[in-house]
Amino acid sequence: MDKLLETDIINHVKSIYDYMQVYIKNYKPEKWYKSQLEFKIKKDKEINGKAWCDNDIDHIEINSGVIDLYYDYFSKILEQDKNTILKILINKELEDDELKEMSYEGIIYKKGIPIIYDSKLVDDSKAKLLEIFVSRFIVTHEIGHILNGHCKLLASKSQKETHFIPMYYTANSGSMSSQEALDRRTMEMDADAFATTQSMLHVLYLYSDFDRQVKIKMMEPKDIFYWWAFAIRSHFLVCQDRFVDNRFHKKMTHLPSNARWIMILTTALDLLPQYNITDQEKKCFREKIIQGATEAEIKFNNIKFTKYDVFNEIAENKDFETYRSEVNYHWERMKSLLLEYSRLPLFNES
């Protein structure tokens, strides 16, 4: 595993957890108690992880496979883009093995200052940025499970001291009642919304301090929204392809990956008008997010020889609106149950 990515993930988990602790202490002091986070990256190729609470210790564990798979995927995407450009520049047929060892250099001007770049270095930096977006989204989703009270509510209902919430799908979900499964996927929706909200704030921060925080040549500040959407859409495409989770059913603990992405995209676009940015920036960021998500599908389909098209998939599936409305409606019941255990304000909490 790349040490830079591992360090970034560890630091991010700690920083957001510490920030949330300060927020709780200041704005919800009646919910605050001294707790600590134990975060672990487990050496395991399987794409999975889990979150749980054990008295005053909160736990998040993700498998190293989550990090390695996405970094390798994004590197492959960017390498194909590089090869396409090289074929145009060289204007002759070359084998992929030959192209793999090649890169191209150039000069761009920013504010009249010439900047020399090497495509190999730029692509590696982009691949790491995209992996950081995905891994931060995943761990922030798990923090949402913890701080919004999901873990402790489920532990209380199962009458166990701890209760694990797996990152993805559970082998024993068939043993759950339909009501338990609905509770789970409603909380998964809430954790996705939490991760999206925090993730968008992070992207906005990178945009506002781009030169110091990003430092990737051949990228403009506004492009950070494109690459965020490209990364998160790619994450759910990989999940959809790997888990073949297209079917809606009453025992599912997570909505299908394409349904989750549509709800995340809607949340992200709904957040833009709330930020203290110009109308022109809001319009630009919206376009960049949609463009990044669309091109993520195109790249994935080209590499995997698939035909994913989220809008057609959703439009043609009558169950989508039924299940989306169900979790949105069920949220009011879940919110009343979570109030005892949540440490943060819940969505639409009065």
| Three-state DSSP class for residue 90 | helix
Give the model's pLDDT for residue 258: 96
* CA angle (174, 176, 179) in 5-degree steps: 125
Give the pairing type, strands 57-63 and 36-42.
parallel
Rounded to an integer, what distance in angstroms lies between the CA atom of residue 164 and that of residue 51? 6
> pTM, whole model, 2 decimals?
0.90
309 Cβ contact list (under 8 Å, min separation 6): 297
Is the distance from CB of 262 to CB of 289 less than 8 angstroms? no
Q: How many CB atoms lie within 10 A of CB 138?
A: 21
Which run of H or E residues covers position 117? strand 113-118
Break the chain into its structural domains and give their ranges. Answer: 3-338
Phi and psi dihedrals of 322, rounded to 5?
-65, -50
Give the model's pLDDT for residue 121: 55
* CA angle (59, 54, 145) in 5-degree steps: 50
Give the model's pLDDT for residue 144: 96
pLDDT means over runs of 10, the chain (350 residues) = 82 93 95 95 87 93 89 88 67 63 57 54 79 92 96 82 60 76 96 96 96 85 97 96 91 95 98 97 98 97 95 94 97 96 86
| Closest by CA position to 133, among listed 216, 59, 51, 52 | 216
Give the model's pLDDT for residue 5: 80
Give the model's pLDDT for residue 202: 95
